[in-house]
Amino acid sequence: QCFSQIGFPCMSNFTAAMGTVLSPDYPEGYGNNLNCVWLIIAEPGSRIHLAFNDFDLEPPYDFLTVRDGELVDAVVLGRFSGAEVPSHLTSNSNILQLEFQADHSMSGRGFNITYSSECFSFECVSCSGKDSHQKIILKCLCDNVQDPSVYPQSSVSYSLIFHYAFALSFPFH
């Protein structure tokens, strides 16, 4: 791991199902000349939600770029600066990349971001029903579902399935 001058890890991977990403030395100011990259890595088949709790970067010279995947040229989901707290973000893949750049002078408070991951891969266990009142049972395919209350008995109801169907092109019969 690489540490910034002030001791907060500036490059690291987050692999827990949920967690918090803070700018270096948050909320005391993050310092200068930073190029930090954090990867949030969830189980394959999962998506990652970001919630911005606090955000204050010197505009436009210090900014945070959120990419959908681990590659340098992965799709940019958002690029943020200034003091407006961004709205929630959800990845399309199971890896989110946060790149934080700060120039040579001036600092804001920084940021406080919490993330959580959610299984997004399902197998149809009972798919006989087509009308909207019938419950279709899906089994979650992610190995690491941390919160069983989200998917009671590894199943979700039709309303959830319908939502996922469009996102995943789930094969309805």
Neighbour order of strands in the sheet with 46-56: 18-22, 110-119, 46-56, 89-90
Cβ-based nearer residue to Ca ion, 62 or 99: 62
Site string for Ca ion, 31-60 (x = CB under 5 A): ---------------------------x--
Mark residues 62-81: x for contact with Ca ion by CB under 5 A, - for none: x-------------------
CA distance 11 to 39: 8
Give the binding range for Ca ion (CB under 5 A) out of 75-83, 96-104, 117-125, 135-143. Answer: 96-104
Stretch that binds Ca ion, among 3-11, 33-41, 98-106, 134-142 (CB under 5 A): 98-106
Please, how many CA atoms are within 13 Å of residue 117, restricted to the half-sphere of its CB? 27
Q: Which is nearer to Ca ion, 101 or 144 (CB)?
A: 101
**Cα→Cα distances 78→6, 123, 128, 134, 157, Å:** 27, 31, 40, 38, 32
Footprint of Ca ion on 101-140 (CB under 5 A) = 102-103, 106
Q: Which helix (DSSP H) or strand (DSSP E) does residue 55 occupy?
A: strand 46-56
Interface region with Ca ion, contact rule CB under 5 A, candidates 2-10, 23-31, 84-92, 97-105: 97-105
Describe the strand order of the beta sheet including 95-102 as a list of residue ranges.
2-3, 9-14, 34-41, 95-102, 63-67, 76-80
Nearer to Ca ion, 27 or 69 (CB): 27
Residues that bind Ca ion in the complex, under the rule CB under 5 A:
58, 61-62, 102-103, 106
